[in-house]
Structure 1
Amino acid sequence: MTALCRFTLARLLHSQRYLPPVLLFLALVTVLTSSDSGPLTAVYGVCAGSMFLTSCWLTVSLVNLDEPQGRAIAVVSSGSARRLFAADALVALGICLLLTLFGLAYPLVAGHHTVQGVQLLVGAAAQLTAAATGIALGLVCSRPVVGRPGYSLLAALGSALVLPLVPRLPPLNPLLTLLAGRRPAAELVWPVGGLAVLAAGLAVAAVLVTDFVAARRE
């Protein structure tokens, strides 16, 4: 799996399709968190929302890299379509991990906040929760499921803009609601941690569902 992930990452870097979603995240975090002096958890909520949109776009771009014929060759080379989808998800998650570091650090440099370790923990968990949720959405909206790359990206980004607004729809809406509140960061550790576990489960389920639907379409 390590070699497959390296191969997938190399293909993504060569294609440069990672640039639009990554630049979107950097721009949103820079614009929306600069000179902020509010609660740090609320600022990290903004970063988490940005991460959700970015991870979804990044995953769709990654899965849609190849034409169907090229994807079929990659499936044969990797051993199974499920392994290839899993590699796509892991590569997207790895890039989101790097972006999380920026999302944690930039608000501290550009804003005015009193920093506690528990706030950083909650912020990291929130952004990774959003990343896993976006990856799950990106997988089920990718071309092996939807069929056409344009419709695939449109479905993914449209859903990414709407789903966070649906009241009580886990994990993203409850996550953003928690972070936007005035509760101390120490009280958010377990609720955010539970949502992170749920998001990880959704990402795993999305790999299985995407593999199943793609096999049926073939």
Structure 2
Amino acid sequence: MNALTRHHLELLLRSRRWLPPFLCYGILLVLGISGGDDPLSGCAYSAGLLLPVTAWCVRIALTAEPAAARACRAAAAGRVRVHLAALLAALITALGPAVAGAAAALLEGTSTRVGPATVAAAAVGATAACLLLGLAVGALGSRPVVADRTYGILLTLGGTVLVLLLPGSPGRTVVRGLVLGARDGRVDLAGGIAPALALSVLLAAAAVAVAAVLADRRSE
């Protein structure tokens, strides 16, 4: 599995197809975060941006290898392992902007009434939740779940919007929790961020499981 993941990481990085999502993330982050802002609001902004970027990375990782080469590798190692390795490679790739975005928000922000330990914990929880939700959206909006590229892109975009805006969604919960924390001076870690992160883990695991099952059943 490690060798397969390294292979997909090399394919993704060498293709340079990761540049557009990374550049978009960086530009929007620079435009949206400024010195003196509350670090919680900055982390909410960076975490929300991370979700579509992660979904984008998943789509890139799943299409980086030519179909013929992918079929040969699946015959040798199994479709499920190859697919899971691609998803893991995408998640590892998205860790770069995730760490950079959270660090930028924490370092640039100076004005807050919340303790530094609470701010750091909330930032990590929200970033991890959006990272996992982006993985789930990308996995369900890409092959083999959605074979058609156009429909896949539309479903991925729609899923990203729903996860960020739908009431009760863990993505909306963590982002809104940080925004309210910046306004009210307190963050509900135990009753807000932590349950949303746990739900994000479950949703990501379910999405990956569905994608793996379909990868095993459908020939590509």
Does TM-score exceed 0.5, indicating one fold? yes
Q: Given residue 72 of structure 1, which amino acid in structure 2 is its aligned partner? A: A
User: Which residue in 2 is equivalent to 1:191?
Assistant: 192
Pair 165,187 (structure 1): closer, same or farther in 2 beyond 3 Å: closer
Alpha carbon RMSD of aligned pairs, Å? Answer: 2.2
SS at match of 1:144: coil
Q: Give the TM-score normalised by structure 2.
A: 0.86
* TM-aligned CA deviation for residue 49 of structure 1: 0.5
- Aligned pair count reads 215
Corresponding residue number in structure 1 for 2:69: 70
C-alpha spacing 1:33/1:215, structure 2 compared with 1 (3 Å) = same
Residue correspondence of structure 1 range 11-160 to structure 2 within 5 A:
11-38=11-38, 40-77=39-76, 79-114=77-112, 116-160=116-160
Q: TM-score, normalised by structure 1?
A: 0.87
The residue identity in structure 2 corresponding to 1:32 is G
State how 1:169-208 maps to structure 2 within 5 Å: 170-182=169-181, 183-184=184-185, 187-189=188-190, 191-208=192-209
CA contact (8 A) 1:82 1:208 kept: no
Per the alignment, do residues 122 and 26 of structure 1 end up closer, same or farther by CA in structure 2, a change over 3 Å counting?
Answer: same
How far off its partner does 1:98 sit? 2.3
Q: Report the AA paired with residue 110 of structure 2.
A: H
Identity %: 27
Separation of aligned partners in 2, 1:17 and 1:68: 17
Q: C-alpha displacement at 1:190, in angstroms?
A: 5.3
The whole-number CA distance in structure 2 between the counterparts of 1:95 and 1:67 is 20
Task: Look up the equivalent residue of 1:66 and give its one-letter code.
Answer: E
Aligned equivalents of 1:80, 1:36: Cα separation in 2: 51
Preserved CA contact (<8 Å) 1:53 1:157: yes
Q: What CA deviation, in whole Å up to 9, does each residue of 1:40-67 have, x standing for no partner?
A: 2222111111010100111111112234
Structure 2 CA distance for aligned equivalents of residues 191 and 121 of structure 1: 12
Secondary structure (helix, strand or coil) at the match of 2:37 reads coil
Change over 3 Å in CA distance of 1:185–1:26 after alignment to 2: farther
Unaligned runs of 5+ in 1: none
Q: Deviations over 1:187-207 (max 9, x none)?
A: 325531222222122222212
Q: What whole-Å deviation, never above 9, does each CA across 1:59-86 have from its counterpart, x for those lacking one?
A: 1111122343332222223x22222222
State the distance in 1 between where 2:74 and 2:191 align: 39
Q: Which runs of 5+ in 2 are unaligned?
A: none
Contact 1:136–1:202 (8 Å) recurs in 2: yes
